[in-house]
Amino acid sequence: MKKELKVSAINNGTVIDHIPASNLYKVITILNLDKISNAMTYGSNLESKKLGSKAIIKISDKFFEDEEINKIALVAPQAKLNIIKDYLVVEKKVVEVPDKIVGIAKCVNPKCITNFEEVTTKFTVINKETVDLKCHYCEKITDQNHLVIK
């Protein structure tokens, strides 16, 4: 049997592939996909040699700026984007962990000001491979295992 993606093709838009299945909803939240009206399909728990179990999202008539899409590198560092026009892949992109993360992640430190007051979180990425984030405020490190998306 052929291992086809059980998600239908789109005419124009963006396909985000190689999302770890467990982080599908985090990707949806980070990209605010739950707040837009574009037609969208997704599949989860698909077989993947690289990830074990992956998810894929197809969004019609939606194209992302690099700055926006790079935010998902926090939870889907291996994600690949296919930009579709007239059913054809016209561009492929990979995501890149940004140097600074603003307003997406929560600081792991329960004593941090960002967990007490309305403060936009800010982090410097001190290690892009392991995704270690240093809080601009309390200066503590939030690592990938403790990463919570706001």
User: How many CA atoms within 13 Å lie on the side-chain side of 34?
Assistant: 7
Report the residue number, 67 or 117, with the smaller CB distance to other proteins.
117
Q: Which two tokens stand for residue 149?
A: 């998306």
* By CB under 8 A, residue 62 contacts other proteins: no
How far is residue 45's CA from residue 126's CA, in Å, rounded to a whole number? 31
Measured from the CB atom, the residue of 140 and 146 that comes closer to other proteins is: 140
CA distance 28 to 35: 9
Least distance CB 126 / other proteins (angstroms): 10
Q: Which of 78, 138, 144, 149 binds other proteins (CB under 8 A)?
A: 138
Q: Does 140 sit near other proteins (CB under 8 A)?
A: yes
CA distance 9 to 88: 10
Please tell me whether residue 125 binds other proteins under the rule CB under 8 A.
no
Rule CB under 8 A: choose which of 139, 146, 148, 150 binds other proteins.
139
**Contacts (Cβ under 8 Å, ≥6 apart) of 114:** 106, 107, 121, 135, 137, 138
Quick one: which of 59, 129, 136 has its CA closest to 105?
136
Q: Which of 138, 141, 144, 149 binds Zn ion (CB under 5 A)?
A: 138
Contact pick of 15, 72, 97, 107 for Zn ion (by CB under 5 A): 107
List residues binding other proteins (CB under 8 A): 107, 109, 111-114, 116-119, 135-140
